[in-house]
Amino acid sequence: MQDKLVIGMDFGTDSVRGLLVNLIQNTVIAKAVSYYKRWEQGLYCDPAKDQYRQHPLDYIEAIDEVFAALLANLTEDDRKRIVAIGTNTTGSTPVAVDKSGKPLSLLEEFRDNPHAMFILWKDHTAVREAEEINALAKKWPVDFTAYSGGIYSSEWFWSKILYTNRHDKQVLEGAYSWMEQSDWIPAYLAGTDSLEDVKRNRCAAGHKAMWAEEHGGLPSAEFLCSLDPTFYHLVNKMYRETFTSDEVLGSISPYFVNKFGFSEDTLIAVGGIDAHHGAVGAGIKPATFVKVIGTSTCDMYTLPKQADIPLIQGICGQVDGSIVPGTVGFEAGQSAFGDIYQWFKKLLLEPTVSVLADALSREQKNLLNEKLLIYLSQAAEQLRLTEDDLLFTDYHNGRRTPDADFTVLASAHGFSMSTTAAHIFKALVEATAFGSKAIMDRFKESKAPIQRVLATGGVATKSPFVMQILADVLDTPIDVVDNDQTCALGAVIFAAVAAGIYPDVVEAQQQLAADVACTFSPKQERVMIYEQRYRKYQVLTKTNLFVS
């Protein structure tokens, strides 16, 4: 059988990561990463306002760079053997588009307007709008938030559209409709020039836009227009049907055929959310709890459709056909995890590097940046664990689940003159583990069986210190997979099914999904102490020390 090649692309917060895989030999031929240049410079973002925007040119340029790197050593014939490309992105990361599906920020009059750019998942400018959506949903005859955990988030599709409608009349009037990044990327790769031809992915529609077959698709026009009259101009300009990532969106654009030598028959699969594809790449099965641990966390879980499906409150939704087609996919997660560690590192490094600016070489600065968290981990590991140690909550970027609330702030208890940087770092790591336990407890309280915990992502593969604390706090073994690109690998799996190489995702997973590299087992002498500390964490999360 002639070799068949597939590309998987993972559009993360900071970069695009690509994998080129030979499906017949089950080997990775090439890997590539391209960082978003405007994003690296902090353009169009205002952290003080929780505003995080990305220009579509960052994605367009990164796609070309990743393709160039992946294909650098391929012959002309090899390039023609690339049968399909799968993609996933962050979410909810929507953008206002014209009738052809082009983001407004690619038009001259909008090119430097942040409201016309992709509104990144971590943008929390729409807190007020989310509150209004929730208030109306609870009074409406149909609760459109029922399959979104009962609480709609400021991180999601409709909140961000409403915020933009109210704050930028030019974008309001210029937008024909809106698209998720996870739909726009594959549409761009396929050269789609009509919004009606774009197949919207089930993952983003269900988990971020309240799409559900049970109430006829998206929230009704009556609901949206009652929420705010600015939605009138979007009526009948959205979508009804959704698709899973193992389906074909179209064939690759002539631009990429001419520039990189792809076959014009190369298929583009329907898009998806990065963490969902990451769970598939990690080998998710029903009743397996998969944690994708990076700057934030996404927790994925599936159950067969014929099972007795619980309705779990306070999570990021449960959707028929999301994550793995043919199952009900559940999503939860923390809005900050590794981000919290990076925040602390920056807190320590910024004044030090500034004071010693002229005395430090570039190599020394890089060494400090690379080694500080390693040093803190080693120092924190030597500290004796007690019930009364310094305690933090993990709400540095608000709370995603359980029970979304992006007005809540992080807090701490237990500082003294003997507190060191290692004590603080240990407490921050424990806080992220306690936040993970709160999510798992919500699933268990809802009678959702958890038979196994799998972990993937940058933190899972790089920090044994964090993973051991997580296992101790959760009091369960955690299997860490041997692949640091499971999101891109998941995209490969979906593309392989879309191309007909495998009949379904489950069989493709059996051949392509990552293996387990190591297991972190809980240390029982620490489990009991962490149970006591977790109870104190719960008290701290409910304590309002300051009332405005």
Residue 361 in domain: yes
Q: Are residues 44 and 132 in the same domain?
A: yes
Residue 507 in domain: no
Number of domains, the chain:
2
pLDDT at residue 39 tops 70: yes
Q: Are residues 261 and 306 in the same domain?
A: no
| 27-35: strand order across its sheet | 27-35, 15-22, 5-11, 82-89, 267-269, 248-251
Residue 182 in domain: yes
pLDDT tens profile 276-330: 999 999 999 999 999 999 889 999 999 998 877 889 999 999 999 999 999 999 9
Task: Judge contact between 23 and 6, C-beta under 8 A.
Answer: yes
Distance, CA of 495 to CA of 508 (rounded, Å): 10
Q: Are residues 378 and 266 in the same domain?
A: no
Amino acid residing at 102: K
Distance, CA of 171 to CA of 156 (rounded, Å): 18
Tell me, what's the pLDDT at 21?
97
Residue 211 DSSP symbol: -
Distance, CA of 430 to CA of 288 (rounded, Å): 23
In degrees, rounded to 5, the angle at the alpha carbon of residue 125 between the alpha carbons of residues 195 and 224 is 50
SS3 label, residue 545: coil
Q: Which residues pair with 320 in a beta bridge?
A: 328
Q: Are residues 152 and 208 in the same domain?
A: yes
When pLDDT is cut at 50, 70 and 90, the band that residue 358 belongs to is confident
Q: Are residues 58 and 191 in the same domain?
A: yes
Residue 122 in domain: yes
Residue 276 in domain: no
Tell me, what's the pLDDT at 309?
87
Paired sense of beta strands 5-11 and 82-89, if any: parallel
Burial classification of residue 370, based on how many CB atoms lie within 10 Å of its CB (0-12 exposed, 13-18 middle, 19 or more buried): exposed
Domain boundary among 240, 270, 300: 270
Tell me, what's the pLDDT at 512?
96
**Bond prior to 402 in cis (omega within 30° of 0):** yes
CB-based contacts of 473: which residues, under 8 Å, 6+ apart?
Answer: 430, 433, 434, 436, 437, 530, 534
Identify the CATH number of the domain in which residue 254 sits. 3.30.420.40
Domain boundary among 248, 270, 292: 270
Handedness of CA 492, 92, 313, 231 (dihedral sign): negative
pLDDT at residue 544 tops 70: no
Burial classification of residue 319, based on how many CB atoms lie within 10 Å of its CB (0-12 exposed, 13-18 middle, 19 or more buried): buried
Q: Are residues 241 and 313 in the same domain?
A: no
Smallest Cα–Cα separation from 334: which of 401, 428, 403? 401
Distance, CA of 86 to CA of 490 (rounded, Å): 8
CB-based contacts of 20: which residues, under 8 Å, 6+ apart?
Answer: 5, 6, 7, 28, 29, 30, 31, 70, 71, 82
Q: Are residues 209 and 164 in the same domain?
A: yes
Distance, CA of 299 to CA of 284 (rounded, Å): 11
Q: Are residues 244 and 319 in the same domain?
A: no
Q: Are residues 311 and 368 in the same domain?
A: yes
Taking all residues of the chain, what is their mean pLDDT, rounded to a whole number? 95
Which tokens hold the place of 185?
A: 């990327």
Element (H, E) at 35: strand 27-35
Q: Are residues 316 and 373 in the same domain?
A: yes
Smallest Cα–Cα separation from 330: which of 345, 315, 340? 315
Q: Are residues 310 and 266 in the same domain?
A: no
Poorest-pLDDT segment among 23-27, 106-110, 495-499: 23-27
pLDDT tens profile 141-198: 999 999 999 999 999 999 999 999 999 999 999 999 999 999 999 999 999 999 999 9
pLDDT at residue 1 tops 70: no
Percent of all residues in the chain with a pLDDT value above 90, rounded to a whole number: 93
Q: Which residues pair with 452 in a beta bridge?
A: 288
Task: Judge contact between 230 and 224, C-beta under 8 A.
Answer: no
When pLDDT is cut at 50, 70 and 90, the band that residue 546 belongs to is very low
Task: Judge contact between 270 and 247, C-beta under 8 A.
Answer: yes
Tell me, what's the pLDDT at 186?
98
Residue 416 in domain: yes
Tell me, what's the pLDDT at 357?
86
pLDDT tens profile 436-493: 999 999 999 999 999 999 999 889 999 999 999 999 999 999 999 998 899 999 999 9
Smallest Cα–Cα separation from 19: which of 517, 540, 514, 532? 514
Q: Are residues 172 and 227 in the same domain?
A: yes
Number of C-alpha atoms within 13 angstroms, CB side, residue 51?
Answer: 15
pLDDT at residue 272 tops 50: yes
pLDDT at residue 92 tops 80: yes
The residue segments making up the domain with residue 132 are: 5-270
Distance, CA of 130 to CA of 117 (rounded, Å): 20
Residue that has been written with the tokens 């925007």 in this structure: 53
Residue 490 in domain: no
Domain boundary among 235, 270, 305: 270
Tell me, what's the pLDDT at 332?
96
Residue 145 in domain: yes
pLDDT tens profile 498-538: 999 999 999 999 999 999 999 999 999 999 999 999 999 99
Tell me, what's the pLDDT at 548?
37
Distance, CA of 402 to CA of 365 (rounded, Å): 38
Distance, CA of 190 to CA of 253 (rounded, Å): 5
Residue that has been written with the tokens 């240390």 in this structure: 523
Paired sense of beta strands 327-332 and 297-304, if any: antiparallel
pLDDT at residue 106 tops 60: yes
Distance, CA of 436 to CA of 259 (rounded, Å): 45
When pLDDT is cut at 50, 70 and 90, the band that residue 385 belongs to is very high
Give the predicted TM-score (pTM) of the model. 0.93
Tell me, what's the pLDDT at 306?
80
